[in-house]
Structure formats: structure tokens, C-alpha cells
Amino acid sequence: MLGTVENKAGLLFKGNNFKVVKKVINLGEQIPSHNHENEEIIFSVLKGKMEIFLNGEEKHILVPGDILHFDGKNFISGNALEDSEINITLILK
């Protein structure tokens, strides 16, 4: 088989220099402040609405189809403004 399809929560794919994670987050659930020092981050909203903060200052309201890219040395935090599903791609620098 040439391709793999996944549609579940958790670690979906992992290679030598990347990981793809899907998270299901309920309304009001928070993402505590954290970073991924050695990775580039691509944060994609599949369903719902997310309020995301970078370094506690820069605010982004993300809806389905929105993709946020940032250097993992920055701290991310946020909360679900609706029941949400997100994909996070982490790429090793």
C-alpha cells in the first residue's frame, strides 16, 4: 500500500524528522503553556474554534481551514471556544 489514512485522536504519523498529532478538545478545555524548542509547528483547525496565544501575547482566533505556523521555541497556550479537532505537525529543525 502506498498511502496510509488515519482519522483518530493521538499520534497519527511519526518519521525521522516529523510527527503528526490529532487532538479532540472540548469547549472550555485549555492547552497549557508549553513549547517545542527544537521543532517548527504547523497548527491546523479541522473543526470548532480555538483561541491560541503565542508567548502569552500574540492572540489568534482560529476556525476550520486556518493554519498557524510558528517556531517551536515560542510558547503556545490556548482554549477551545467550541468543541474542536486540531492537527499539529511538528517538524524537527
Q: For 52-86, what is each residue's pLDDT tens digit?
A: 999 999 999 999 999 999 999 999 999 999 999 99
Asked if residue 91 lies in contact with residue 18, where contact means CB atoms within 8 angstroms, the answer is yes
Q: What is the pLDDT of residue 3?
A: 94
pLDDT tens-digit readout, 18-60? 999 999 999 999 999 999 999 999 999 999 999 999 999 999 9
Q: CATH: 1.10.10.10, 3.40.50.150, 2.60.120.10, 3.40.50.10490. Which one for 10-92?
A: 2.60.120.10
What's residue 77's pLDDT? 98
pLDDT confidence of residue 23: 97
Domains in the chain: boundaries:
10-92
Return d(Cα 57, Cα 72) in angstroms, integer: 15
pLDDT band at residue 1 using 50, 70 and 90 as cut-offs: confident
Residue 14 CA to residue 12 CA, distance in Å, equals 7
The number of angstroms, rounded, from the C-alpha of 12 to the middle of its chain's C-alpha atoms is 13
Contact 88, 31 (CB under 8 A): no
